[in-house]
Structure 1
Amino acid sequence: MKTNKKIRVVHLISGLLQGGAESVLFRLVTWPDPEVEHIVVSFADGGIYGQSLMDAGVEVEMLGMTPGRLSPADFWRLKKCLTRLDPDVIQTWMYHADLIGGLAARVAGFRHVAWGIRNSGASLAKSSRSAYLFARLSGFFSRWVPQRIVCCAEEARHRHVQWGYDPRKMVVIQNGYDLSRWVRNETARRTLRNEWGLGEQIPLMGFVARWNPLKDHATLIKAFAQCLAKQPDLHCVLVGKDMDDGNPVLMGLLTEYGVREKTILLGMRNDVPSIMSALDLHVLSSIAEGFPNVVAEAMACGVPNVVTNVGDAALIVGEDGWVAPASDPERLAEKIIQALDYIEETGKSTLARQVRERVMNAFSLEKMVAGYRQTWMDMLSENGKTK
């Protein structure tokens, strides 16, 4: 291990588009740490986060690979990139980077490799067949390629051990949040509600998630339709990739269940903390998650959650949220109504303080950064910086 110098950590990720893993990576590498130097290598391009990372002073390498079409030349280029960067530790993010990046690192002679599991694995085959195949194949290679396997959630660790991942290498580091960014903004709340034609007394729920089978927007929309029978003024905001009127399946669902006029479609946005502040309730309808960032981010903005019982979602909300079974619109609607009634009885400001305090106490960014740093230090202390 290098002495009197920063630990050089190279992060490998398939791309830098908007997503939970990408946002955690961004928070981790932009945290001011005098002991660690971060370099991010994207297999594809800069995506959403590339320029922001560079603006924050983080070196970003973009290899320009075509997603899903890795060639032998691409693999060789990745290997050469790692050799040139000469990291102390290689931290990979998600299944494709875990396996491909891990193998390239070992071929290049590096042994201090930490994999990053960002998904619970539940229903993964329904979302991405290739990710599922990479995940199961990685279980076999986990005995030899990584030195550590960092899981974002306890459920993720448990399921991947069942899939054959080496349990001796597993470390759970829960996500941490920059509470200086995720904070309630009353001015933004008023501005956005005015823009949407909603008064302060109009109940508003929302879901921040890309269009993906694992997010199960269909169940959310069915539950929303049922809620309108008891809360006819209720509106819903949907934010994320393909959450717009250019998505024919989404539009069909909104029309079929009669909620189109009550739904606000925002697509991709870069002002999510402001949008969160405009909500009264955030609803996670997923059928699978690891450690869902969006739940804690909503809480940091003072917004309580109704979540499905997936990944560590119930752990995040604790006693300050509501939990429903996955794929059950009736129970989800029931919990949404319970939550809205409770918010009205208790007062929005009181509950806003409670949910933010929970995130501050349990999921600080400093705690997450310390967990990663200690993991890397432990890896290096086992055999020095030897390749």
Structure 2
Amino acid sequence: MRVLHIITGLSDGGAEAVLYRLITHDAQDIHQVVSLTGEGKYGPLLRAAGVSVTTLNMPRGRVTFVGLKRLWQVVRQSRADVVQTWMYHADLLGGLVGRLAGVPVVWGIHNTTLEPGHSRRATIWVARACARLSRWVPRRIVVCAQAAVGVHGALGYETSRMIFIPNGYDLSRFQPDSSARERLRREWGVPDDMPVIGMVARFDPYKDHANLIEALAWLARQGVRFQVVLVGTGMTSENIELTRRIEAAGLTDRVRLLGVRQDVPAIMAALDVHVLSSSAEAFPNVLAEAMACGTPCVSTDVGDAAQIVGDTGWLVPPRNAQALAEAVQSALTAWHDRPAWWARQQACRERIAQQFELQRMIEQYQTVWASAVGGVERRC
């Protein structure tokens, strides 16, 4: 089957990572990608994997006549059996163009939060427009989080077309790695008896690094020993807002800002505890990636975090630094019981292997595409 993917952009985000994993591990279908904006992080990686990538270079949040015309041309020339769109703007533009071109369309929803004051007004407007079109444009709507069904149903989306497909993970890439742990801790100058807390996330209001820093400051005041590594876009000393918060919290000597890294699996394996402080998520990939590496997690209870973590870690309400700090303290206390901690690490990886394996996700997408092309109403 020929699948044309239309995505808002190819930057360092969760939906973009899932698209990359799906395409590069699907040996059965032929894939082509269109980015409404630029090539970001994943454009070069997809091209290196032999995937055709077209960038329309439209300014983010704006539609241009040239970009829309090029999108129409690519859809018509692709001879695709199905158009798979990713994220609201691509759902709207890619969905309309695919529908008008006579190609079956499958939308992709990778968000669960649409709140005035937190979400961009343009994003909310586009989501509402999609809700009105959801009975006409897509034959199927893939949601990556169970929580997204209720949120979008309340907005007016046609829930009968929604199919839940949880994200899948390459367990051969994300796995425990004792040699990486030893190497990176030497690189960071951290002794083996010092617990390392980490968070892999770009600098974004929804990731709520302020919440994390406040929680870490409380732990430091209690005399808890720990070191922290922060990884992702914006996690550098050039980020003045972030560095000022870290300095004001008295954490400069405890926090390492590593920026964007290509060795995320190794970093996950080197951590003792992964923390996610987000105020909103859909299906937070970093939790599953850390757990696949045998790293227990402390997370805010956002999106499908509870479904990922299960009973292997700790969940707290979002925007509650005190609760987050106390949960991290509980995790670090548990870390000192080595036999019990090892069992917890094993349970983390086993949970991801059983529920979120990559090939299972690929097969579910293939089933959705086949049913969209055939027009048969069925669920995965």
* Residue 137 (structure 2) aligns with: 145
* Residue 216 (structure 1) aligns with: 208
Deviations 1:273-314 (A, max 9, x none): 111111100001111111100000000111000011110001
Which residues of structure 2 form unaligned runs of 5+?
A: none
Matched, 1:375 2:365: no
Which piece of structure 1 moves more, 162-171 or 46-55?
A: 46-55
Q: In the alignment, is the contact (CA less than 8 A) between 1:99 and 1:138 conserved in 2?
A: yes
Matched, 1:106 2:99: yes
* Residue 3 (structure 1) aligns with: none
* Secondary structure of 1:137 counterpart: helix
* Residue 4 (structure 1) aligns with: none
- How far does residue 132 in structure 1 lie from its aligned partner after superposition? 2.3
* Residue 95 (structure 1) aligns with: 88
Aligned-pair Cα RMSD in Å: 1.5
* Residue 71 (structure 2) aligns with: 78
Q: In the alignment, is the contact (CA less than 8 A) between 1:16 and 1:46 conserved in 2?
A: yes
Matched, 1:22 2:16: yes
- How far does residue 230 in structure 1 lie from its aligned partner after superposition? 3.6
Aligned residues: 375
- How far does residue 126 in structure 1 lie from its aligned partner after superposition? 1.4
Q: For 2:223 and 2:172, locate their aligned partners in 1 and report how far apart those are by CA, in whole Å.
A: 34
1:1-387 residue pairs with structure 2 within 5 A? 7-34=1-28, 36-110=29-103, 112-123=104-115, 125-347=117-339, 348-382=341-375
* Secondary structure of 1:138 counterpart: helix
- How far does residue 130 in structure 1 lie from its aligned partner after superposition? 2.3
Q: In the alignment, is the contact (CA less than 8 A) between 2:142 and 2:165 conserved in 1?
A: yes
Structure 2 vs 1, CA of residues 187 and 300 (structure 1 numbering), >3 Å: closer, same or farther? same
Q: For 1:124 and 1:315, locate their aligned partners in 2 and report how far apart those are by CA, in whole Å.
A: 26
- How far does residue 14 in structure 1 lie from its aligned partner after superposition? 1.7
State the percentage of identical aligned residues: 45
Structure 2 vs 1, CA of residues 161 and 137 (structure 1 numbering), >3 Å: closer, same or farther? same
- How far does residue 251 in structure 1 lie from its aligned partner after superposition? 1.4
Which piece of structure 1 moves more, 131-140 or 158-167?
A: 131-140
Which piece of structure 1 moves more, 165-174 or 98-107?
A: 98-107
Q: For 1:117 and 1:313, locate their aligned partners in 2 and report how far apart those are by CA, in whole Å.
A: 16
- How far does residue 315 in structure 1 lie from its aligned partner after superposition? 0.9
Q: For 1:180 and 1:189, locate their aligned partners in 2 and report how far apart those are by CA, in whole Å.
A: 17
Give me the TM-score of the superposition, normalised by structure 2: 0.95
Q: For 2:81 and 2:41, locate their aligned partners in 1 and report how far apart those are by CA, in whole Å.
A: 27
- How far does residue 229 in structure 1 lie from its aligned partner after superposition? 3.1
The runs of 4+ residues in structure 1 deviating greater than 6 Å are none
Deviations 1:128-151 (A, max 9, x none): 332222112211121211111100
* Secondary structure of 1:236 counterpart: strand
Letter aligned with residue 232 of structure 2: G
